[in-house]
Structure formats: C-alpha cells, structure tokens
C-alpha cells in the first residue's frame, strides 16, 4: 500500500484556527435546538423552572455548543457543508466521521458569545484491506464564552 502520510500532511499537526461568534447565542437558538432534537427539558425554555433551578436561568442543551455553526462566518463549501473542516492537501479523498468525545464544563447561556479554537492534535495512517491506506485526523475544539471561560471540549476523529 502506498504511504499517504507525507511530510506536507504531517506539517498540519498543531495547526489552529479560531472562530468568534458575531453575537450572543440567544434564547431562540436554544429553544429551536431543543425542539429539533425533541428535548422538552423546561430548563431550555421555561423561565420559572429555569430560574428555580441550580442554574438560575435558561441554559442550552449541552451539545448545542458543539453543534452550532453560529460562530462560523464563511461561505458554504461546494459540497454544501457549512462549518469547520481541515483542507488537507489530499487529492480525491472523502471524509468519514470516526467519532467524537465531548467534555462539558459549564452550561451555555443565552447571553454567551461563543468562540471556538480548533487544533489538529495528530494525524496517523493505518492500512485497511478493503479501503487501502486510511488517514486518521484527530482534532480538538475548545469552546469558550466572552469571559474566556471553558464551556466544552470536542475531540473529533475524521477518517480520510
């Protein structure tokens, strides 16, 4: 099998990119995400219940911070994807999502202005009988609010 992990691709390890939301997340985004995911937890939309909770107000469903592209202010890719991706110099490949690990540190609130920093942690190669040489790209996204407080970390594996 041919080696796909070239020095040019290895040089991507450690690269970072940061995106900052142009506005606060907002109550509507929280409510719509909860509706779209079928989560009727009153902490996401009911003021009375949310204020009486240990959070003291409306909070977002935990995964919203990792799934929103609210901070991403660029045109949609030709593939139709709208979000962060690593444009590695690989011809004719396709990306398969290999999994995610999430850590949540504190609730996201409607007035949070989210920034995310993506970083490539590692790239390695494995041979597959069915698909030839595969590249595994391990990246991490760290989400913070306007005060620099860590909200969540998303470690993602993409297979190319």
Q: How confident is residue 129, by pLDDT bands cut at 50, 70 and 90?
A: confident
Give the pLDDT confidence of 84-107 residue by residue, as tens digits.
777 888 877 788 889 999 999 999
Backbone dihedral region for residue 47 (phi beyond 0: left; psi -120 to 50: alpha; all else: beta): alpha
Residues 6+ apart with CB under 8 A from 18: 115, 116, 117, 118
| Beta pairing partners, 19 | 116
Angle at the Cα of 24 from the Cα atoms of 118 and 112, rounded to 5 degrees: 70
Helix ranges (DSSP H) in 14-118:
27-37, 47-52, 64-67
Architecture of domain 7-25+71-159: Roll (3.10)
Give the pLDDT confidence of 64-86 residue by residue, as tens digits.
998 876 666 666 666 665 567 77
Distances 113 to 19, 23, 60, 66 between C-alpha atoms, Å: 11, 6, 13, 13
Under a CB-based contact definition with an 8 Å cutoff, are residues 8 and 90 in contact? no
Indicate the pTM of the whole model: 0.87
Boundaries of every domain in the chain: 7-25+71-159
């Amino acid at each position: 099998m041919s080696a796909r992990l070239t020095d040019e691709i290895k040089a991507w390890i450690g690269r970072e990119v940061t995106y900052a939301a142009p506005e606060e997340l907002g109550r509507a985004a929280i409510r719509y995400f909860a509706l779209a995911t079928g989560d009727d937890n009153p902490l996401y939309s009911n003021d009375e219940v949310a204020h009486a909770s240990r959070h003291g107000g409306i909070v977002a469903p935990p995964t919203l911070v990792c799934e929103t592209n609210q901070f991403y202010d660029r045109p949609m890719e030709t593939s139709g994807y709208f979000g962060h991706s690593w444009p590695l110099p690989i011809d004719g490949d396709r990306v398969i999502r290999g999994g995610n690990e999430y850590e949540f540190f504190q609730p996201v609130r409607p007035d949070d202005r989210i920034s995310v920093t993506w970083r490539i942690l590692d790239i390695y190669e494995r041979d597959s009988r069915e698909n030839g040489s595969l590249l595994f790209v391990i990246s991490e996204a760290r989400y913070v609010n306007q005060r620099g407080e860590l909200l969540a970390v998303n470690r993602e594996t993409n297979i190319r």
